Structure 1
């Protein structure tokens, strides 16, 4: 069984889909099961595996999409099956069956959160992928419902396969935590938020909520971690309006090896996103024993279950009150930390890889 795996969306500063792809590749390589994989990757992404076709590093997403659409389709025809881990399978026909992982339909549900160009590309390519894919893999029941609502004819070929939890766990070494905090200019207690800086993540409401929280907890800081995403200028304007009090810290991207310590040092993790296909950061926080406050929307209740406090992402006061309820209760923090670890252990990349491989075999009738 020869399978081509397009992982070109994975870059060095991986987040979201890139993080998903990186963990999935690692898990597939470990399982093997007689499968001959060929991974298409950017040249800076290295795995302990021989059969990798390295392409250049892409500075812009449109460069990658152009290659995926124009240069690569004919290269797939020598394989038995192709797996695309994002929405953009080729417009040009390929002769072998393929599966596409669709993580969310945020560009349909929240079009205002995207630039016009990126939204148009997604609106063009996604229906093609949905129609032509042998199987559509999605990462939550919530996203499955969204796909069915826009494409009701494809319900029978959708498979929900949850991602796994991250490989890192809680750091109890205070020296290690303090060392990482110092690298990113963090002192004292802090609330942590992780995610690409873009409108869908609702950072503006979080910052406004923090101004309320800060009146009651004057010594606490808000730490924002993540790359600059779509329309980030608007988010930064909000940050600049409140940054004078020195209690708001924006780190930009944080290296993966530092994330466990950064999570573990936080008083609470907050994720007031409007919409998520899955939401890896809350799962990462829970795996580090950090109490989480998340939105009561989309897939997040699937991920967090009863292990977190929920908030209304459209209500700044409610976001603030939810965070304050955790900060003000030692017993609640301990309870959520314990439940979070239990909940995070329900997600396994080994199980994810098994389910993906079973889909490969289903398509190839093995």
Structure 2
């Protein structure tokens, strides 16, 4: 079997799709039943050995422009909102890689596009769809990105032989929205890295001290600060908690600067001044792992998720989880979390208070969460993805 990938999602800084691609390729490179594995960035072809090098060296590919604040960020956001910018970038990338894709198709490679929109390909090919939030919440995305997906995704779904989704919820969603045949769409859950695990309290002391936190003495949320993650309602729900609970369990919000969040930042300001909400900014991965493990509650009342990997990572870290009762999240937690209505501030507040005052409930959810997270592995994702390749191999 010969496998081909678009490696652009491995560019730094890697997003969720980039890490999905990384874990898939890492698992496939361990197999000895793959004749050849390669991919492209621009007009450059990377063979099996060089793909392996890319995975371990995130900075070996040129980064796309990324600015979180200031005039450069404003200009970048404005440029990306211009009509045709996404489509233009796609056309340029396709032109650069056209000849190598044609050669790989001639040689019998199976092409797997891991990032929604597949390039034209004459051989067997697969695409992974991570969610359809652009259809359900277009207002939460740049209009140019929504237009790009609306224009190109239907053609991709017609071209490919199989569609992989990261949850059964997203599988049903893709079938319903695009009228796909049932047997064309396969659900393959994501996995949790082994580094997400319970840590000893002593090993976490220095990380907690830097932020003025206590072991099992804070609420943690990890996500991009954007509307779909529902942080405005989470902050409002936290503000409704009794003052003594807010003092004892501050809310720690960790995540990259997002968009459409000026109102959120205003809501946070008063509680932040009282040191009841903490915004650490960038947190190194090793520190983040220990914060996960040390929290009393992990709060993730997202409005829409194709999978919801932070919830699985929190369960694997041994923390009680509060999350939403909508989209894919109940499927991911499988009864191992406290589910709330994400549109109800009162419901979120009640759930937070219940978890904070009921240690027995937290302990029960920790045990269930660890068991559930153990079922979600990247190795299983790789095996099931390889089975999809086998089903379409010539």
User: Given the two structures, how large is their TM-score scaled by the length of structure 1?
Assistant: 0.90
1:27 aligns with 2:27: yes
Instruction: Indicate whether 1:318 and 2:347 are aligned.
Output: yes
Larger Rg: 2
Q: Counterparts of 1:96-115 in structure 2 under 5 Å?
A: 96-115=123-142
Q: Which stretch of the first structure deviates more once superposed, 48-57 or 347-356?
A: 48-57
Q: 1:76 to 1:302 in 2, by over 3 A?
A: same
- The 5 Å alignment of 1:339-350 reads 339-350=368-379
Q: More displaced, 122-131 or 278-287? A: 122-131
- Alignment match of 1:327 (pick from 333, 352, 356): 356
Match of 1:308 among 337, 343, 348: 337
Over 3 Å counting, the alpha-carbon distance change for 1:49 and 1:194 in structure 2 is farther
* 2:85 is equivalent to residue 56 of structure 1: no
- Greater Cα offset, 326-335 or 28-37: 28-37
CA contact 2:132–2:173 (8 Å) conserved in 1: yes
1:168–1:287 CA contact under 8 A, matched in 2: no
Deviation at 1:240, TM superposition (A): 3.0
**1:288-342 superposed Cα distances (whole Å, 9 cap, x missing partner):** 1110001000000111011110010000111011111111111111111111000
* Partner residue in 2 for 1:74: 99
CA distance in 1 between counterparts of 2:41 and 2:189 reads 23
Residue 230 of structure 1: how far off its partner (Å): 3.9
Partner-residue secondary structure (3-state), 1:100: strand
Report if the CA contact (8 A) 1:13-1:253 is conserved.
no
Query: In the alignment, is the contact (CA less than 8 A) between 1:5 and 1:84 conserved in 2?
Result: yes
8 Å contact 1:105–1:143 — kept in the other structure?
yes
Q: 1:320 to 1:5 in 2, by over 3 A?
A: same
Q: Distance in 2 between matches of 1:343 and 1:271?
A: 17
Match status 1:170 vs 2:197: yes
Q: Please list every run of 5 or more consecutive structure 2 residues that lacks an aligned counterpart in the other structure.
A: 55-59, 67-79, 81-85
Query: What is the CA deviation profile of residues 183-209 of structure 1, one whole-angstrom value per residue up to 9, with x for unaligned ones?
Result: 5x3423210111111111101111111
Separation in 2, partners of 1:32, 1:254: 37
Secondary structure of 2:248's counterpart equals coil
Name the counterpart of 1:129. Answer: 156
On the 8 A contact 1:186/1:249 being kept in 2, the answer is no
Take 2:49 and 2:194, find their aligned partners in 1: how far apart are those partners? Answer: 19
Higher helix share: 2
The number of residues matched between the two structures is 359
Name structure 1 gaps, 5 residues minimum: none
Offset at 1:151? 0.9
Match of 2:234 among 189, 196, 206: 206
* Counterpart contact for 1:82–1:99, Cα < 8 Å: yes
Deviation at 1:222, TM superposition (A): 0.9
Give the 3-state SS of the residue equivalent to 1:231 in structure 2: coil
SS at match of 2:370: helix
